[in-house]
Amino acid sequence: MKDLKKEKKWSLLYIPGNEEQDAEVRKLASQLSITEVMGRLLYTRGYRTSQEVQRFFNQEESQLHDPFLMQDMKPAIERIALAIQRKERIAIYGDYDVDGVTSVSLLYLYLREYGADVGYYIPCRSREGYGISKSAIDILKERGVELMITVDTGITAIEEIKYASTLGIDTVVTDHHECRSELPEACAVVNPHRADDSYPFKELAGVGVIFKVICAFEMNQCRQAGIPTVDGLRRVCKEYADLVAIGTIADVMPAVDENRLIVTLGLRLLENTNRLGLRALIEASAGGNKSVDGRGVTKKRKINSTFIGFVIAPRINAAGRVSSAALAVELLLADEEEKAKLLAEQLCELNYTRQIDENRIAEQAYKKIDETFDPEKDRVIVIDDDTWQQGIVGIVSSRITERYGLPSILISFDGATRGFACGDDMGKGSGRSIKGLNLVEALADSEDLLVRFGGHELAAGLTIRRYNIENFRRKINEYAAKLMTDEMLCVCLEADCEVEMSDLSMRLAQEIDRLEPFGASNPVPNLLLCGAVLQRIIPMGGGKHTKMILEKNGVSMSAVWFGMNSTQLPFELLDTVDVLFQLNINEYQNTTSLQMIVQDMHISPAFEKSFNAQRKRYKEIRDGAEFDPQEDVIPTRDDMAVVYTFLRREYQFKHTCFSMRRLLGMLNQGQSFRIGYAKLEMIIRIMQELHICEISEPTEDCFIFDFYFNPTKTSIDKSSILRKLKTQQRKTVTEE
């Protein structure tokens, strides 16, 4: 089957050469005393004047909108206040991801401040799946619950909320997932995505929505007490912005508008967090959040959106994926240091287990795709398995969509079988999409085949019976075929602007840090460096990652490619490459240095063109064409000795197969002279002709060498190839 894995295509946001645009950038850089590269980055983000940039840096453009602009906010807080006043038992019903866990923790802590009789319920991902279930409502009824507040879930639970009402349980829904035309019949439904909602910012995470509910409740309390409402807003921000920031970053919400302000405030709180669970998790996951410099002074680990997104969030998420999300909630609620440390260590262990299972499932999924998926016919990858853990298929779906550039849905029947496959087995799936295909709308088109579904434009969950899998696969692909264009199928990466090695400085890295917090709509800048020479390749992490030394115009810098196995790196030493990267400040063993974090890398077109031209020229000379002495084609005895010695040494280490690019790179590395393509090919042919070694050529530009144990001594002068070469070389004027 045709290889699905696609080469990533790059697009450059800032294209130099427009005199008016370039002049604006230079002016911006001069006015703000920033580098020109930083000026380009700001320009591509839409900040064109020094005033706009200052507002962006100072967060003046960010503000907390009036929470009462959100539909149903007033009845929501009134019903919550009534429950507190009546001492009703309240249950917070949340999702099992980071957004849900932080939402539950936030509301629980806040309601406890007001003396509420409050508990929480998070469904088990593997047993119950996503969303509200009637069995869970039965449990809440047994616990004496009279008010259920949903966080990060509930917007599609129409029948379940009706059922709760018949049992005497009122519901306040708070959610941020896409709404259907029919809303639940609840006391209040707070969701900025409601069709009738006029709230000015729609991209809040679930924890952001419940934070707005808390803001509204606090403002109402302040009014009743005759206190300025702004004081109440400051208090809840100071107390809870850390939890809101974690959930917002983890759910990949756009880092703009009030999200940007909330995340900024939250990251500041996290730098010196008083929350025992978070402090323990930061220390456990980062090997301690402090390091010691050369003077013995402790330095705090930098807490930014990247650290939250790639270190803290996966560990919180691991609880719900591998075990129980309640572990993560208990960590965030912990008020004893020893308990916090124990829970933090548990989450780190669960995350390690999750990583192992994720890699196993990913490899199995890739194999299934290679064996069964037809890219000529289908546009959406839908695969299922009886053994995949339901909590992990969503992460693997993300990897598949990134790898193949196609929407993907993974369905797990783990725990659903009776020892044998049965048509009415219930499978739970998770999907990821690409820009242009709204996954919730695509699932809605197949609603008759699904038990339930919900989510966002680019990520969604579903429940389906086994006998509907084939029809679902067919129907969602028919839907996708009508909407997806060839352009959408490209895996595209954006580079903010092109840079030179001389542009890369500690100053620029520090300026880029000022763009924090990063996230969707304000991503970490991708920079493009063209024409760098690959000087060294160094395996990292047992070969799982690769470190390289790149050089251009006499300036070198290290570049790290995470997730790229050094043995699979499709480049050779001395290749000239174009690299898409993020500039990073690396702190290691009391040394601070710059490094590139590679996002993607290509052979430079000019280098590839030159290599192909050299190959073509060799073939011309091989076929009898004349050549000039300066082309340096005729090998000397010393040239032959260098190549022979190198190959014989490599042969002893069982390195017998080489591409021409690899041979050229390894032979010329660190040498004061350079053996060109044509000369090296001639040396290989001469060695073969003189029986110095056996050489096979499985493909063009690839050779396998096999050396004799006791080779017969010979002279290169005996080579007919060499003699013919000398007749093809044009004579110089002096020789004539």
How does pLDDT run across 567-611, given as a tens digit for each residue?
A: 889 898 889 999 999 999 988 777 889 999 999 999 999 999 999
Edge-to-edge strands of the sheet including 170-174?
Answer: 117-121, 89-94, 145-151, 170-174, 188-190
Residue 120 or residue 376, greater confidence:
120
Identify the DSSP state of 571.
-
The overall average pLDDT reported for the chain is 91
DSSP 718: G
- Exposed, middle or buried, 270 (CB in 10 Å: 0-12/13-18/19+)? buried
**Contact residues for 679 (Cβ-Cβ < 8 A; gap 6+):** 632, 633, 634, 635, 639
Quick check: helix, strand or coil at residue 438? coil
Write out pLDDT tens, residues 532-545: 999 999 999 888 89
Pairing relationship of beta strands 459-465 and 497-499 according to DSSP bridges: unpaired
Rounded Cα–Cα distance for residues 389 and 358 (Å): 9
| Token digits of residue 713 | 């001594």
* Interacting residues of 245 by C-beta distance below 8 A, sequence separation 6+: 262, 263, 265, 266, 267, 269, 270, 308, 517
pLDDT at 601: 95
The yes-or-no verdict on residue 148 having pLDDT over 70 is yes
Residue 492's pLDDT band, with cuts at 50, 70 and 90, is confident
Whether the CB-CB separation of 101 and 153 falls below 8 Å is answered with: no
Q: 623-632: long-range contacts (C-beta < 8 A, 24 or more apart)?
A: 624/728, 625/728, 626/728, 626/729, 626/730, 627/678, 627/728, 627/729, 627/730, 628/729, 628/730, 629/729, 629/730, 629/732, 631/676, 631/678, 632/676, 632/679
Mean pLDDT throughout 26-45? 95
Give the rounded percent of residues in the chain with a pLDDT score beyond 90: 75
Structure tokens at 646: 């190198």
Determine the Cα angle at 438 with ends 433 and 441, to 5°. Answer: 125
Q: Which two tokens stand for residue 230?
A: 């702004």
Q: Which CATH class is domain 373-490?
A: alpha beta
- Binning pLDDT at 50, 70 and 90, where does residue 420 land? low
pLDDT computed for residue 456 by the predictor: 84
- The owner of tokens 């009030």 is 258
What's the rounded mean pLDDT across residues 517-538?
93
Q: What pLDDT sits at residue 733?
A: 55
Q: Is the pLDDT of residue 191 over 70?
A: yes
What is the rounded average pLDDT of the residues 449-478? 92
Strands 170-174 and 188-190: parallel
| Burial label, 108 (beta-carbon count in 10 A; 0-12, 13-18, 19+) | buried
Q: Please give the single-letter amino acid code of residue 170.
A: D
Q: What is the pTM of this model?
A: 0.81
- pLDDT tens track for 700-732: 889 999 987 777 788 899 999 999 999 999 986
* CA neighbor of 435 nearest in space, from 384, 494, 495: 494
The SS3 of residue 354 is helix
pLDDT attached to residue 297: 45
Domain ranges of the chain: 9-60+493-603, 67-266, 272-353, 373-490, 607-728
Output the pLDDT for position 5: 63
Task: Pick the closest to residue 141 from 84, 89, 86, 188 (CA basis).
Answer: 89
Q: What percent of the chain has pLDDT over 70?
A: 95
Is residue 60 over pLDDT 80?
A: no
Q: Which of 30-39, 320-329, 704-713 has the lowest mean pLDDT?
A: 704-713
**Per-residue model confidence (pLDDT) at position 296:** 47
pLDDT for res 287: 60
Neighbours of 231 (CB within 10 A): 12
Residue 513, token pair as written in the block: 């840090």
Average pLDDT estimate for 509-536: 93
Measured between alpha carbons, how far is 117 from 120 in angstroms, rounded to an integer?
11
Confidence (pLDDT) at 526 = 97
**Could you write out the three-class secondary structure of 640-705?**
HHHHHHHHHHHHHCCCCEEEHHHHHHHHHCCCCCCCCHHHHHHHHHHHHHCCCEEEEEEECCEEEE
Q: pLDDT digits over 240-257, tens only?
A: 999 999 999 999 899 989
Q: Note the CATH number of domain 9-60+493-603.
A: 2.40.50.460
Domains 67-266 and 373-490 in one fold: no
Q: Select the CATH number that applies to the domain covering 67-266 from these four: 3.90.1640.30, 3.30.9.10, 3.30.720.120, 3.30.1330.10.
A: 3.90.1640.30
Residue 263: the pLDDT is 95
Residue 670 pLDDT greater than 80, yes or no: no
The per-residue pLDDT for range 343-374, each reduced to its tens digit, is: 999 999 999 999 999 999 999 999 999 999 98
Best CA proximity match to 104, nearest among 275, 326, 305: 326
Helix axis angle, 98-113 to 229-250, nearest 10°: 160
Mean pLDDT is lowest, of 70-74, 572-576, 616-620, for 572-576
Does 290 score more than 70 pLDDT? no
SS3 564: coil
| pLDDT of 1 strictly over 70 | no
The residues, ordered by sequence, that sit 6+ positions from 393 with a Cβ below 8 Å of its Cβ are 361, 410, 411, 412, 429, 430
Residue 4: what pLDDT?
Answer: 61
For residues 6 and 153, the model is more confident at 153
Q: Tokens representing 728?
A: 């093809």
pLDDT band with cut points at 50, 70 and 90 for residue 735: low
Question: In the prediction, which pLDDT does 455 show?
Answer: 84
pLDDT of the residue at 128: 77
CATH topology for 607-728 is Arc Repressor Mutant, subunit A (1.10.10)
Taking the C-alpha atoms of residue 109 and residue 94, their distance in angstroms, rounded to an integer, is: 14
User: What's the average model confidence in pLDDT over 281-287?
Assistant: 84
Q: The tokens of 725 are what?
A: 């070469």
Find out whether 403 and 3 touch, Cβ atoms under 8 Å: no
